[in-house]
Amino acid sequence: MRIEPLTDWRDHLEVGARVYIEDEATPRRITTTEWGGRVPAIGLEGIGSRDEAASLAGRYLETEPQTLPEGTYYWHQLQGLTVQDPSGTRLGLLREVFRGGEAEVYRVELTDGGEMLVPGVRDVVRDIDLEAGIMVVDYRSEEVR
């Protein structure tokens, strides 16, 4: 099956690695990996037909969590954070994280009902405090709105 890798650890997708299909409690072993094309393809233990693979479309493959370097976060840790500007003004809630090219993008539901897409770059995202539940963004650039 073709996949969109969202991991920084390529070894998580090598033959022999174990992954969990979203909403499944038992891991499956990766049986084949092909990196040659535009989109990598893998084979999974227990998935023997095209129809079985197609039934998994849109579901995530997950691994056991790794300890991340300081200052980096899993997407699920960021969802739900209160987003504010550097002066402390509440802008809204971070509702979704996704990839936009090489960078992460944060979809913020604004307090006025609109939304803002925030590039996950240090020039814009100034601070993340998981304990306080806050992300500080400096959105002065017109590119952010």
Burial class (CB in 10 A: 0-12, 13-18, 19+), 64: exposed
Burial class (CB in 10 A: 0-12, 13-18, 19+), 69: exposed
Same domain membership, residue 79 and residue 122 = yes
Residue 144 lies in a domain: no
> What are the C-alpha distances in Å from 85 to residues 103, 107, 122?
21, 15, 14
Of 19, 40, 62, at which residue does a domain stop? 62
Same domain membership, residue 86 and residue 56 = no
pLDDT in tens, 69-81: 888 898 989 999 9
pLDDT in tens, 1-45: 999 888 878 888 999 999 999 989 999 999 999 988 788 899 999
Same domain membership, residue 130 and residue 90 = yes
Residue 126 lies in a domain: yes
Same domain membership, residue 127 and residue 81 = yes
Same domain membership, residue 48 and residue 21 = yes
Q: What is the pLDDT of residue 90?
A: 97
Residue 70 lies in a domain: no
Structural domain of 108? 75-137
Q: Which helix (H) or strand (E) holds 30?
A: strand 28-34
pTM of the model: 0.65
CB 41 within 8 A of CB 61: no
The token duo for 34 is 């092909």
Number of domains in the chain: 2
CB 110 within 8 A of CB 98: no
Same domain membership, residue 102 and residue 51 = no
